[in-house]
Structure 1
């Protein structure tokens, strides 16, 4: 150690030992201050260019606006230190402790922070361009609006950190632990996110164009309004994600797990979806032009036990743009408060025994009528759901007879055996629960025996995904006014109407 450096160090230590803590603007360029204790010192605007401060104790020190360019701070203690506006470009901070430190607006261009402890640190607005942050701990850190373009965050642990609006263009986050992280409106273009854990993360409005998310875990993440154009999501886990209005143009979703994801409003033009797992994924409200998809996995567990193959892009597009089937019960009366309460209780009871009706109906009250509409992603539920949904009404018996007649008519049609078995099985499941459902509903309905609503004429209409309409029951007095009570017979839908209706099903082989 040169004499000049020794004098600098000695003078500094002497002042600190004597209780002096204010070293504002001090010039310590190129000095050797390794392992020195300057805890709680004030070093605002200090010049520490190329200074060796490795292993030093600078905890709770104020280094705002200080010049630490090319400084050596490896293994130093900077916990709760204030470095707002400081410059640490090309500085060596390997294994340094910056827990809860403040680096607002600081510049750390190409700095080395390998294995640093940065939990709860505040880097908002900081410049970390091309910084080396491999295996750092950023738990609950604040990097809102920070510039991390080209930064290396491989293996970083940043659970619950805030990267809102941050620039991570071209950053490498391979195998990083980022569960619960806020990346909303962040720029992640061309970023490498291979095998990253983003479980439950917020990426709403984020820009991930041409990013590599192959093998990434995004289970439960919010990806709404995000941009994935050209992104690689091959084999990624997107279960339970919110992809509403996301742009996935030309994205690679090969063998991606999308079970229970919501992508209504998403743009998938030119995307590749071969082998994607799409059980419980809404098959409507998306743009799927020019997609590449030879087959998808529709099994509940995503284990390949149920595969849907496609012969052409138009066939796969039609499958993904499925229109939900509807069961519509039109009641020739206005819904009053008493009937509304009874309906809510009745359908709640029904849902407990017949899961396909777990979603409550859309209720539209018109000038003289009330319409209950149930929506189903699978056409096979239409007949059994109508069989069960009509239970609260006096017309239930006749409606159910008609549905059974339609079922028998289907059995006599020239349909694939598997299709007949599937439709029959679904209806039999509803029939088997009938007596049990009636017993559970009896108390509810008895309490509302005087309510005109449930005794009013009804129409039960089924609308398939192919937009074919089948009226399975229409009370002869439906629409009649002035006490007209003629005894016309109920019409029974048979023959060609049933054939056309079944043929329009979006049936999965």
Structure 2
């Protein structure tokens, strides 16, 4: 048998040396071809069952539809090789180099690919069920539509790889480096993703039901429309992540870092949120029925310096069903292009001094009026924003006086001291920045004062997260047109209105 194998090898080497490269359909079952050089050979539909090709050079070889089942390919050079439709079931590819190789539709069921170099390799629609891919390098590899169910990818590195529409049901990706990968619409049900790095990854529409993502790095990841029901996200880092419309039913978010995450439209029914870091997380437009949450961390640094405690599920639900506070400036004139440019410049400069106004206003131009609406996730910004947003208008001084007057009533409110301090601090910061803002906008403001739009009467209305509306200023000529003698005035004499408005604020304890 050994003599026969040697003869096969000798004849193959002889043909190759003489320049022959086409070995289509050749039968080399159980042959010993270790360390052989068959670079750029054509081995289409070749039979290499249980063949020893370890350490061989098969770079740029064409092995399309070849039978390599149970073959030994450890440390083999298969860079840029073509293995489309090839069968490599239970093959040993430990430490093999498949850089840039094509394995489209190939079968690698239970294949051993430990520590393989698979960068830029194309595994699209390949069957890699229960394959051993521990510590492989899959940088920029294409695994879209591949079947990796039950595969072991522990410690693998797949930066910027594509797993779009791939089946990773029950796969083990613990501690894998998957930053920037495309996992959109992938099936990751019951997958092990503990301490995985998925920062900046695209997981939109993926199925992660009952997956274990504890301690995972998901900063900046796109998890919109994902199915995370029953998933374990305890201790995961989801800062700046997109969870819009995600299903988090009965998910475990214990001590998860959600700072600046967006989960508008998410379903959190029955989820556990105790200890979650929730600074700058929008608390509106979500479903939060039957949640389990004893407290959340709302400190900017996530260091528990500011904690919101809950005595019941209903308290937690109310906190998470927050509606945004609004500052609405209604201008009794139609917006023109010149005024629009001035507004853009003004609010861009203001945002540099007061970061809470970094989001541009929503502008609605009606039949006779223009409405500017600023949205804020925290009510503490309502008074400061109204104080600054009115700057380019002729009504600025009167409006600002009224805002300050409302602020002064805080000291007489039956509120916790730290709540009063929180609001007063925010308002004082806006007032302190006014000089700098005016200096930066000196030319712009002078131009605006000569523009009809900014000379027009205004109304400034504040709407708290508790849906309490309060008109902080309304010019006496607002709405006065032909046949309209209605007059609307602001007065602090309506003291109870101010009290009710301030009491409706969603304060952060």
TM-score by length of 1: 0.97
CA deviation map 1:375-411 (0-9, x unaligned): 1111111112111211212222222222222222232
Alignment of 1:200-215 (within 5 A): 200-215=200-215
> Would you say how many aligned residue pairs link Structure 1 and Structure 2?
509
Deviation at 1:485, TM superposition (A): 9.3
Aligned to 2:63: 63
Deviation at 1:349, TM superposition (A): 2.3
Gaps of 5+ in 1: none
C-alpha distance in 1 between matches for 2:233 and 2:282: 19
CA RMSD for the aligned pairs?
Answer: 1.7
Aligned to 1:415: 415
CA deviation map 1:462-502 (0-9, x unaligned): 11100011111112221112498999975335421111111
C-alpha distance in 1 between matches for 2:59 and 2:407: 78
CA deviation map 1:422-479 (0-9, x unaligned): 2222212222223333333332122233322222221111111000111111122211
Aligned to 1:86: 86
Aligned to 2:366: 366
C-alpha distance in 2 between matches for 1:328 and 1:302: 31
CA deviation map 1:242-261 (0-9, x unaligned): 11111111111111111111
Deviation at 1:34, TM superposition (A): 1.4
C-alpha distance in 2 between matches for 1:66 and 1:98: 16
Aligned to 2:478: 478
Corresponding position: 1:179 with 2:168: no
C-alpha distance in 1 between matches for 2:186 and 2:73: 30
SS, match of residue 328 in structure 2 = strand
Aligned to 1:40: 40
Aligned to 2:145: 145
Alignment of 1:233-248 (within 5 A): 233-248=233-248
Alignment of 1:249-264 (within 5 A): 249-264=249-264
Aligned to 1:429: 429
Gaps of 5+ in 2: none
Alignment of 1:382-401 (within 5 A): 382-401=382-401
Aligned to 1:274: 274
Deviation at 1:355, TM superposition (A): 2.1
SS, match of residue 448 in structure 2 = coil
SS, match of residue 116 in structure 2 = coil
C-alpha distance in 1 between matches for 2:280 and 2:334: 34
Aligned to 1:226: 226
SS, match of residue 433 in structure 1 = helix
Q: Which moved more, 1:478-487 or 1:442-451?
A: 478-487
Provide closer, same or farther for how the CA distance between residues 396 and 485 of structure 1 changes in structure 2, counting only shifts above 3 A.
farther
Alignment of 1:312-327 (within 5 A): 312-327=312-327
C-alpha distance in 2 between matches for 1:463 and 1:442: 30
Q: Which moved more, 1:386-395 or 1:134-143?
A: 386-395
8 Å contact 2:104–2:122 — kept in the other structure?
Answer: yes
Deviation at 1:183, TM superposition (A): 0.7
Q: Which moved more, 1:479-488 or 1:126-135?
A: 479-488
Corresponding position: 1:341 with 2:345: no
Deviation at 1:52, TM superposition (A): 1.2
TM-score by length of 2: 0.97
Aligned to 1:379: 379
CA deviation map 1:271-295 (0-9, x unaligned): 1111111111111111111111111
CA deviation map 1:336-387 (0-9, x unaligned): 2222222222222222222222222111111111111111111111112111
